[in-house]
Amino acid sequence: MSIFKTITQDNNSKARTGLIEIRGKQYNTPMFMPVGTQATVKGMTPEMVKACGSAIVLANTYHLWERPGEDIVFKAGGLHKFMNYDGPILTDSGGFQVFSLAKPKDIKEDGVTFKSTIDGKKMFLSPEKSIDIQEKLGTDIMMSFDECPPASATHEYMQNSIERTLRWAKRGKDVHKTDQLLFGIIQGGAYEDLRNYSAKKTVELDFDGYSIGGVANDGESKDDMYKAIEYSIPFVPLDKPRYLMGVGDPIDILEGVERGIDMFDCVLPTRLARHGNAFTKTGKMNLKNAKHKEDFTPLELDCDCYTCKNYTKAYIRHLLMCDEMLAGTLLSIHNIRFLIKLTENIRDNINSGTFNEYKNEFIKTYTKE
């Protein structure tokens, strides 16, 4: 049974609006999904996140396995109760940790061995273990366990990696026994033949949705990211959601939607906020800049977020200069709302047949010096 249906298909691109059904409720796409790696969107309460218009939020299997442990979350009644978020939750499989923590020699057929980021102890993660953890967490969408090779990987290494990821995907799917949705992950770097192959073979395993991985690691260029989407999308069924992992730059969201992507996630909005930066229609704004010291206007005059309705640039800059944690919260609220509002505007313009004009005008304004 399909969980996705297209509402409007853009006439000039692969952009589309749709509905994804999760546990009997429907959610609009394209969508941006805030990231709560440790079962919290940094600096924000669940009520704040939902007030920004969020639907799905993310958490990370590896980090929650490491601390507090999946059994603790299970005893708490599942991740929704543990973190007090009543909307859908998606968990990454831990596959990115393969890329970031393990050495090539530690990646074997049975799984991956690496050292804990907390105490250095040896840890082992396999496709079966990843599914088991995610099932205990009780999230709504689980990700298949994959290897995430660096952009510099050779064609030969990438091909062998894809074959292993496909075997891992089947092993994970074979032990999946709950009603949680399970997405497969397409890999292949910027190699057209490997992206084609990975997409075809992953689709043959018949997952609930498909994500395009390996585009948000260190080393990928924007062109490689766009190529990865273009090489993968033609092989993904129209009645399945398409998810671009780890991407949250506004222009990349627009470019991804144009190429057929439905779902995006990224830590970027909260990370930028913690460093004193805000998304605006004219590009990123550094609130630490002295010119904002006596600027008693909101971050954006027409923004409908809580921060812009109640606070000024001067006040937020004051908080930053005093190292007050409220600064990061207020900027996170704005940045997350900015990206969610962007996807709302994208949906409106696809539905009205004006997506191309909207995309071009947004990029022109956003990148204007």
- Catalogue the active-site residues: 92, 265
Within 8 A by CB and 6+ apart from 364, the residues are none
Two tokens at 67? 């601390």
| Cis status of the peptide bond prior to 250, with omega within 30 of 0 | no
Is 174 within 8 Å of 184 (Cβ atoms)?
Answer: no
Angle of CA points 77, 79, 85, to nearest 5°: 110
Q: How far apart are CA 7 and CA 14, in angstroms?
A: 13
Is 184 within 8 Å of 197 (Cβ atoms)?
Answer: no
Q: How far apart are CA 52 and CA 38, in angstroms?
A: 20
Q: How many helices (H) and strands (E) does the chain have?
A: 15, 15
Is 151 within 8 Å of 220 (Cβ atoms)?
Answer: yes
CA nearest neighbour of 14 among 262, 337, 354: 262
**Pure H helices in the chain:** 46-51, 61-66, 70-75, 79-83, 95-101, 127-137, 155-175, 192-204, 222-232, 250-258, 268-274, 306-310, 313-321, 326-351, 355-366
Q: How far apart are CA 210 and CA 206, in angstroms?
A: 9
Q: Which residues face 16 on adjacent strands?
A: 9
CB atoms within 10 A of CB 37: 16
